[in-house]
Amino acid sequence: MRFSLMRGAALGWPLSLLASSLALAVDGPAPAPSESEVTSLKAVKVTADTQTLAAPGFPATLAAVPAERVEATINAVDVEDAAKYLPSIFIRKRNYGDTQPVLATRTWGLNSSARTLVYVDDIPISALIANNNTIGAPRWGMTSPEAIDHIDMMYGPFSAAYAGNAMGGVMHIVTRMPDKTEVTIKQTEAVQSFDLYGTHDNLSTSQTSLTAGGRSGNLGWFFGASAMNSFSQPLSMITGATTPAGTSGTVPALNKLGQVANVYGAGGLLHTRMLNLNGELTYDITPQWKATYLVGYWSNHGQSDTDTYLSDASGAPTFGKVAGFASNTYDLSAHHLMQGLSVKSDTKGDYDGSLVVTHYAFLKDNQWQPAGVTTGTDVTTNGRLASYGGTQWSTADATGIWRPQGVGGDHEVSLGAHADQYELNNPTTNLADWQDPSSLTTLYSTGRGKTQTQALWLQDAWRFAPDWLLTLGGRYEWWKASDGYNFSGKTAVQQPVEKADGFSPKATLQWNVATDWRITGSLAKAIRFPTVGELYQLVQTGSTYSVPNPDLKPETARSGELAVEHAIEQGMLRVSLFQENTKNALVSQTSTLPNVAVPVTYVMNVGELRNRGIELVAQKDNVLIRGLELSGSVTFVDSTILSNDSFASSTGTTSAGKHAPYVPRWRATAVATYRPDAAWAFTLAGRYSGKQYSTLDNTDDTPHVFGAFDKFTVFDVRAHYQINDHLAASFGIDNFTNEKYFLYHPFPQRTYVADLKLSL
């Protein structure tokens, strides 16, 4: 419900911790003995094992996490938790059952939901309807945690098979289909101990999950159901520049710009009741061709409450006539339906192909709230209802593969066609009775419109020598925005039709220097067209208004990466150097404009941004002692605004030469798991994120306040016990050091998590 704004600070523990892991990992295997040292006993020869690098199915850098590791090491409640410790990845999950967990990558931070692509198998679950933290998050609930086989994260826009939205990367959630009937029942309980300003509470979450899968002849099936009842920490703080007349209890504070923003109370105390239903059916049409149908239904009902710190002269609680208490009091109800159908071949021969079609519909998506406050802790009878009902999108992808010399030959040529349409419908209507969403009266505001994209692409993976692989490709896209309409107050605007097109070349050269060394260089251009939300969405979020911009240009990124990988005994090392220059970057900015009384959020084209840096990744099993697994990553990014002639500031500041918003300079992960035997796994994991800015001119330099983006160092622990073949139990603590930090919103404090899983 809120737009994210960033800030933070410098590197602390992660570099030294990862350095220790790297030092242990590099020791690796013992060197092979020389020929003169080999003892010959006729046919017996003593040698050392040599670790090899597995070839990725993506032309550039890929990282993966298997389901077994997720279950043993991560306090996973929602699907997106499984990717928690992948290198350079951060998923902004504010609370259990969060509807806005957007994915940030090494070159793009939060508020960039349309700069990554997420798939469940071949079916996209990204919400490219917007590029924000409100409705732009991937639809993670379209599958179940128990359905996951592994997750692949592919970094950068280096494959022609993906649209320019892949500039941040592509995540594939690969599911499994059981060969025999299985049923799992899982109960998860969590309690967060929260203490900030005048809000002190223990906040509980309870989730019951049921999955069942199996196979009958040519038919495979997997179904999941999950019901959650959750209470969140405050997602907002209600602030102002003064102390309301006749009240006491105001907490003195500043905002991210260092201006007075006293705290009157907490808002967004959200009680969520959520239901996820999903299913996958597969049918083997022939031994070579398989059809898959994926369906997901999501239902969400919630109430947001407030916690006022203000008292009147008699000591009674009061809202002090502060309107923010009304905008943080709301009810919501949503029902979404997604369907996807794919038909795919695996002939292991000269030709293969696939066809994937999807449709996602907001059957109902309403939020209603009072229009304002009155006296004491009362709100107005009238209110407003904001709806996304009718918002929807459809996608279609056809792909063909030709292997002129057969499987394992020198060439593998792939080509494809893509089409999509995204339709936004976002009216806000006045209510006679805010508690009755059917009491609609007049239209308050609206934003609607469509975008369409068609694309053709071609790519050839050519092994021109035994140790060399050259992948060349290109993608041409045609984009159109139409039917744009905005209404606010008494002003109605029919927005003009916009069109754009462009070609995106791709190239990757891979050299297997030896069986345990690989060097990969990649170059690519990616074009991202504005989303319909960036063009036409007009919405109020608390006291902040989002202003549409129908004249946005596409952003163009030129990306490059040089990666060196080394396989060691039971592990690997990787160093990646990367750079991305983005022209006309579409950046969301929240500020107070001249002659405008309230903050506004608007998207603008920034002249040119440059993100360049280095990523170090290490992983090794059985370090020093059997059963000890270490993994970690450190990422440094120099993200700079090279030019921005369109930037306007009421204070006369400039954005050229400043750090780009939403990208931390440093980030790191470290995970240590000890498995004393096959039944137990004990994990200590840490994540670090450094200084960030949310403003183009980097004026947000006040930490630890609502709206700021703080640096954070968060540690998690987990103990997992496989009691027998059918029963497993886990207990963990997320943020066990109780780090208190803001990522615009107050983020979760120490949280205890326990789960019990029965498998039949």
Give the tens place of pLDDT for each residue, 608-639. Answer: 999 999 999 999 999 999 999 999 999 999 99
Burial of 129 (0-12, 13-18, 19+ CB in 10 A): buried
The answer to whether the predicted template modeling score (pTM) of the entire model surpasses 0.85 is: yes
Residue 622, burial from CB neighbour count under 10 angstroms (0-12, 13-18, 19+): middle
Whether residue 9 is contained in a domain is answered as no
DSSP state, 34? P
- In this prediction, residue 30 carries a pLDDT of 39
Torsion of CA 620, 626, 627, 631, to 10 degrees: -20
**Structural domain count, the chain:** 1
Cα–Cα–Cα angle for 585, 170, 12, rounded to 5 degrees:
75
pLDDT at 215: 95
Residue 39 scores a pLDDT above 80: no
The pLDDT of residue 456 is: 98
Q: Is 590 helix (H, G, I), strand (E, B) or coil?
A: strand
Q: Which has the higher per-residue pLDDT, 82 or 21? A: 82
Among residues of the chain, what percentage have pLDDT more than 70? Answer: 89
What is the residue-averaged pLDDT of the chain? 89
> What pLDDT was estimated at residue 5?
31
Q: Does residue 680 register a pLDDT over 60?
A: yes
pLDDT at 65 over 70: yes
Q: pLDDT tens, 115-164?
A: 999 999 989 999 999 998 889 999 998 998 889 999 999 999 999 999 99
Give 392's pLDDT tier (boundaries 50, 70, 90): very high
The answer to whether position 5 is within a domain reads no
Q: Could you report the per-residue pLDDT of 640-668, keeping only the tens digit for each?
A: 999 988 776 667 788 889 999 999 999 99
- The identity of residue 356, as a single letter, is V
Task: Pick the range with the lowest mean pLDDT from 134-148, 198-212, 269-283.
Answer: 134-148
With a CB cutoff of 8 Å and minimum separation 6, the contacts of 44 are: none
Whether 47 is in a domain gets the answer no
Q: Residue 431 domain-assigned?
A: yes
Percentage of the chain beyond pLDDT 90 is 81
Return the DSSP state at 75.
-
Per-residue confidence band for 432, with pLDDT thresholds at 50, 70 and 90? very high
The secondary structure of 707-749 as a DSSP string is: T-B--EEEEEEEEEEE-SSSEEEEEEEETTT----EESEEPP-
Structure tokens, 453: 């994209």
Query: Is residue 702 a contact partner of residue 723, using CB atoms and an 8 Å limit?
Result: no
DSSP line for 119-155: EETTEE---TT-SSSSS-S--GGGS-GGGEEEEEEE-
Gap between the Cα atoms of 6 and 263, Å rounded: 20
pLDDT at 33: 40
pLDDT of residue 539: 67
pLDDT in the model for residue 491 = 86
Domain assignment present for residue 80? The answer is: yes
- According to DSSP, residue 36 is labeled G
Question: What is the predicted pLDDT for the residue at 590?
Answer: 65
pLDDT in tens, 471-522: 999 999 999 999 999 998 778 999 999 999 999 999 999 999 999 999 999 9
Q: What is the pLDDT of residues 70-80, one digit of tens each?
A: 999 999 999 99
Domain of 709, CATH number, reads 2.40.170.20
Q: How far apart are CA 666 and CA 615, in angstroms?
A: 10
Higher pLDDT, 598 or 17: 598
* Residue 17: φ, ψ to 5°: -65, -45
Residue ranges making up the domain that contains 205: 14-28+62-759
In a domain, 86, yes or no: yes
**130 within a domain of the structure (yes/no):** yes
Confidence of residue 746 (pLDDT cuts 50, 70, 90): very high
- Across 56-68, average pLDDT: 84
Residue 39 lies in a domain: no
Structure confidence at residue 60 as a pLDDT band (50, 70, 90):
confident
Best CA proximity match to 243, nearest among 228, 263, 217: 263
